[in-house]
């Protein structure tokens, strides 16, 4: 099997936010992690495992996979792609590592919106400063008979936290979210500053799902789609 490796970087910094959860290191992880840690910046190394591809070793972090060799002499950033099947092998491995059960999602921590009979259900992870989240809002407006649970994950900067708090603490969070993201209205001017927010839990969920950007869409078949989707693409996915 031939493998294509993209974006080789030997001494580049990986700008990934730190996460507190790390797996207990085995001998291989203990040996190689110190050699490549400085290249990965603040990203904790959960596990290093051998692969069957050209002597590469998989380095698992909370926000993705990179690759090294048995001595930790270099780091490879970017996906491995099977040139015969065009399968993104890195994404396949990440999907295996971030399996979830839609029924177990903490939906109480999400903003709920129902359209029509609400029979079709999705969940999203979004940031109010995310441009593609606003485009997703436009596409979702074209879809009927759907329930949308939106987990606010303010990861794009301090201003994201301010906006997320204003929306979550509004008297009607669903309306506040829809109005702001669609451009119909500004943020609520006087949110309830005493309300408790779920953002710490949402960020833990984000790390568990290995979500690295917004929007990310979660489906009831326990699959997820990183990034924006058109209404046509969503309709096709919801019919599966």
Alpha-carbon distance of 45 to 88, in angstroms, equals 22
Assign 193 a pLDDT band (cuts: 50, 70, 90): low
Summarised one tens digit per residue, pLDDT across range 223-235 is: 999 899 999 999 9
**The total number of structural domains that make up the chain:** 2
Ranking 18-22, 140-144, 214-218, 223-227 by mean pLDDT, the lowest is: 18-22
35 and 91, same domain (yes or no) = yes
CATH of the domain at 63: 3.10.450.70
75 and 158, same domain (yes or no) = no
For residue 59, list its beta bridge partners.
48, 66
On whether the CB atoms of residues 123 and 150 are closer than 8 A, the answer is: yes
Last residue of a domain, one of 66, 97, 128: 97
How far lies 82's CA from each of 53, 54, 93, 186, in Å?
A: 10, 12, 13, 47
29 and 134, same domain (yes or no) = no
Helix 131-140 to helix 231-238 angle, to the nearest 10 degrees? 60
Last residue of a domain, one of 97, 128, 148: 97
């Amino acid at each position: 099997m031939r493998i294509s490796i993209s974006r080789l970087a030997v001494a580049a910094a990986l700008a990934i936010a730190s996460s507190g959860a790390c797996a207990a290191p085995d001998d291989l992880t203990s040996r190689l992690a110190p050699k490549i840690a400085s290249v990965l910046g603040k990203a904790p190394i959960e596990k290093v495992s051998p692969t069957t591809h050209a002597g590469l070793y998989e380095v698992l972090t909370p926000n993705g996979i990179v690759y090294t060799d048995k001595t930790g002499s270099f780091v490879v950033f970017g996906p491995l792609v099977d040139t015969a099947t065009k399968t993104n092998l890195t994404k396949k491995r990440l999907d295996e590592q971030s399996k979830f059960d839609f029924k177990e999602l903490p939906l109480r921590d999400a903003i709920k919106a129902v359209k029509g009979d609400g029979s079709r259900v999705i969940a999203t992870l979004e940031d109010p400063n995310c441009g593609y989240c606003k485009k997703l809002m436009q596409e979702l407006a074209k879809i009927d008979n759907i329930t949308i649970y939106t987990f606010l994950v303010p990861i794009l900067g301090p201003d994201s936290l301010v906006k997320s708090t204003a929306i979550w603490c509004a008297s009607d969070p669903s309306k506040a979210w829809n109005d702001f993201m669609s451009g119909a209205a500004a943020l609520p001017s006087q949110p309830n500053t005493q309300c408790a927010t779920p953002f710490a839990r949402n960020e833990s969920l984000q790390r568990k799902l290995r979500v690295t950007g917004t929007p990310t869409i979660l489906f009831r078949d326990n699959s997820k789609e990183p990034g924006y989707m058109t209404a046509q693409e969503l309709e096709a996915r919801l019919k599966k």
